[in-house]
């Protein structure tokens, strides 16, 4: 299985889990990763160059997926609009660009670790997940784990991941902090804002987003 890997902090617990899970399962010889930004992973998945990945919600509507994703419960800090008279999309994320249009927010769209770093610079910015939650009283689903094959293996991964309590080793937090320029304690706080379970409320939010993005 070729798995599309996005090395943003919001997937750090999943990557730690996968490393341990693969080592203890029959996937150790068959799992391969392809790393890139969300927009490129979307493209590679559509072209079937990868078998499974967390696909941006805007691109996942007609895909096969399991009930695992990247969910902002309320605020998220890593998906921002920086107010500006000129609107600029973030080329790395189709979902966030669509969300900005739905929410009628104008400025520079910024996502991922760069956005989280910007948030902690205390400069003016709008947290789009928080804005969505205030407007619709729903979480926001940024990505879904989609697949072309290996459904059974991925369902097992989902089950084991959601019941696991992932403790991130300090050296990994330090490495993520050094790479991103974000303080270790801010990374820990940020990960408390993220859920991975696509429950009924998250599904409702997805359907709302898909309807409004047409």
185 pLDDT more than 70: yes
Per-residue pLDDT of 63-118, as tens digits, reads 999 999 999 999 999 999 999 888 999 888 889 999 999 999 999 999 999 999 99
Residue-level pLDDT at 29: 66
Confidence (pLDDT) at 28: 65
| Domain regions of the chain by residue span | 2-72+140-199, 79-136
Q: At 7, phi and psi to the nearest 5? A: -90, 55
CATH class, range 2-72+140-199: alpha beta
| Predicted local distance difference test score (pLDDT) of residue 26 | 66
d(CA 137, CA 160): 29
Phi and psi torsions of 66, nearest 5°: -100, 170
Q: Please, what sign has the CA dihedral across residues 71, 18, 192, 92?
A: negative
Report the alpha-carbon distance of residue 108 to residue 87 in Å, rounded. 6
Q: Which pLDDT value is given to residue 154?
A: 93
152, burial (CB in 10 Å: exposed 0-12, middle 13-18, buried 19+): exposed
Phi-psi map region of 104: left, alpha, beta (phi>0 left; psi -120 to 50 alpha): left
Q: What is the pTM for the complete model shown?
A: 0.92
2-5 β-sheet, strand order: 32-35, 2-5, 52-56, 140-147, 65-72, 194-197
Q: Are residues 73 and 126 in contact, defined by beta-carbon separation less than 8 angstroms?
A: no
97 is written with which tokens? 């660009």
**3-state secondary structure string across 103-155:** CCCCEEEEEHHHHHHHHCCCCCCEEHHHHHHHHHCCCEEEEEEEECCCHHHHH
Between the CA of residue 208 and those of 57, 87, 136, 193, what are the distances in Å? 11, 24, 9, 21
């Amino acid at each position: 299985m070729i798995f599309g890997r996005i090395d943003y902090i919001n997937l750090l617990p999943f990557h730690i889990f996968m490393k341990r899970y693969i080592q203890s399962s029959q996937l150790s010889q068959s799992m391969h990763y392809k790393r890139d930004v969300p927009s490129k992973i979307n493209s590679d998945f559509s072209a079937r160059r990868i078998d499974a990945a967390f696909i941006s919600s805007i691109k996942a509507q007609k895909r096969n997926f399991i009930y695992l994703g990247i969910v902002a419960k309320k605020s998220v800090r890593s998906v921002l609009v920086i107010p500006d008279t000129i609107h600029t999309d973030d080329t790395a994320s189709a979902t966030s660009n669509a969300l900005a249009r739905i929410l009628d927010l104008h400025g520079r769209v910024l996502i991922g670790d760069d956005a989280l770093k910007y948030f902690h610079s205390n400069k003016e910015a709008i947290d789009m997940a928080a804005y969505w939650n205030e407007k619709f009283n729903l979480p926001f689903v940024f990505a879904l784990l989609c697949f072309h094959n290996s459904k059974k293996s991925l369902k097992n991964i989902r089950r084991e991941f959601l019941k696991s309590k992932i403790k991130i080793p300090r050296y990994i937090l330090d490495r993520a902090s050094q790479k991103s320029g974000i303080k270790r304690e801010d990374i820990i706080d940020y990960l408390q804002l993220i859920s991975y379970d696509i429950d009924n409320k998250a599904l409702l939010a997805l359907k709302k987003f898909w309807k409004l993005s047409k």
